Amino acid sequence: MPLRNRVTELLGIEHPILLAPMDGVSGGRLAAAVSRAGGLGLLGGGYGDETWLRSEWPLAGNARIGCGFITWSLARIPHVLPTALDHRPAAIMLSFGDPRPFAPAIREAGAKLICQVQSLGQAQEAVEAGADILVVQGTEAGGHGQSRPLMPLLLETVDAWPGTPILAAGGIADGRGLAAALMLGAEGVLMGTRFYASQEADGHPEAKRRIVDATGEDTVRSIVFDLSRRNVWPAPYTGRVLRNRHSERWLGREAELMQNVEEVARAYAEARGRGDFDIAAVIAGQACGLIHDLPPAGEIVERIIAQARALLGERAPSAPDDEAPASEAAK
């Protein structure tokens, strides 16, 4: 099972590992570290903060990186996508919204279009938009998503669109997850939570510590944190975060929260400002139960590739005149 495939060829990378474009976490330093380790780092463009983009891109230095956006925000701030494209990104990843209005500009700029999807309907829309790569996101992922687990959705998507390379996302944090994704027909992975718990991530140190200490059972998917920050997403989207005192107080009491939203939102914003994660949410997926340290991002990539190769029996790359036949390499 090769670790070099259509994804690595399309993106011009060595390893089929992509950094999830986490808003407020995937900055220039982290994106560069993942790219320099042989994967592809994606800046967390989020809702489209142009000032942030202009300040973070130079932090990547000469590393070849991309950028990801929440798609429906681009319609409100149309100047942000051209700002990103001016930096000649390797790829633009669009999530949560119709990618079709933005696909022509991305292609014209020479960037690859990556579309994250949570359903077969979204996958169809992305393929029609000309997506170069699909990211199939399962409900195990941190942040916003829908309700389908990764494995069945990934298998259905691989079967339905064999001509489009697919990445798996949600609950993946080590080489076992990468190997499993490849066995299921994906050609790589996109990871957020594992890279959140890295030295270069822009997250608060206390948030990183909580990820390291958590298990998958310490996460919950709800709308409490969206209500609390007054940024409610449309159904059926919810967000996976680490459980804390605030979520435990309001889970099942969302109607009451809405009745007191002014007071709750004010307290929530203040808590975020002072790094109080008993109230503010740490956005993380169920993969946190597989994370036990805070290494450099490059070391994370190296570990994952080494473990996946060991599991899949793939030889490390060698010089062309030293390559064994495929039948021997598989032994």
Q: Report the candidate in 219, 228, 236, 238 with the shortest Cα–Cα distance to residue 287.
A: 219
Residue 284 pLDDT? 97
Structural domains of the chain, count: 2
CA–CA gap between residue 227 and residue 218 (Å, rounded): 20
Residues 145 and 78 in one domain: yes
Residues 129 and 28 in one domain: yes
Residue 315 pLDDT? 54
Answer whether residue 1 is part of any domain.
Answer: no
For residue 93 the two structure tokens come to 């990843």
CA–CA gap between residue 5 and residue 13 (Å, rounded): 10
pTM of the model: 0.92
Answer whether residue 62 is part of any domain.
Answer: yes
Higher pLDDT, 40 or 326: 40
Residue 2 pLDDT? 65
CA–CA gap between residue 60 and residue 53 (Å, rounded): 11
70-103: b (≥16 Cβ within 10 Å) or e: bbebbeeeeebbebbbebebbbbbbbbbbbeebb
Tens digit of each residue's pLDDT (9 = 90 or more) over 88-105: 999 999 999 999 999 999
Residues 99 and 213 in one domain: no
Residues 74 and 98 in one domain: yes
Answer whether residue 281 is part of any domain.
Answer: no
Answer whether residue 117 is part of any domain.
Answer: yes
Residue 319 has pLDDT above 50, yes or no: no
Tens digit of each residue's pLDDT (9 = 90 or more) over 265-304: 999 999 999 999 999 999 999 999 999 999 999 999 999 9
Residues 173 and 308 in one domain: yes
> In sequence order, what are the residues at sequence separation of 6 or more whose Cβ sits closer than 8 angstroms to the Cβ of residue 24?
44, 46, 202, 203
Answer whether residue 219 is part of any domain.
Answer: yes
Residues 58 and 142 in one domain: yes
**DSSP state for residue 154 in the 8-state scheme:** H
Domain that holds residue 177: 6-202+295-327
Q: What's the average model confidence in pLDDT over 297-320?
A: 82
Residues 24 and 115 in one domain: yes
Residues 155 and 187 in one domain: yes
Residues 79 and 223 in one domain: no
Ordered strands of the 238-242 beta sheet: 143-145, 238-242, 219-222
Strands 42-46 and 66-70: parallel
Answer whether residue 282 is part of any domain.
Answer: no
Residues 195 and 227 in one domain: no
Residues 185 and 241 in one domain: no
CA–CA gap between residue 49 and residue 55 (Å, rounded): 10
CATH number at residue 130: 3.20.20.70
Residue 243 has pLDDT above 70, yes or no: yes
Residues 28 and 116 in one domain: yes
Write down the residue that tokens 């020479």 correspond to. Answer: 110
Answer whether residue 290 is part of any domain.
Answer: no
Residue 75 pLDDT? 86
Answer whether residue 286 is part of any domain.
Answer: no
Tens digit of each residue's pLDDT (9 = 90 or more) over 128-161: 999 999 999 999 999 999 999 999 999 999 999 9
Residue 143 pLDDT? 95
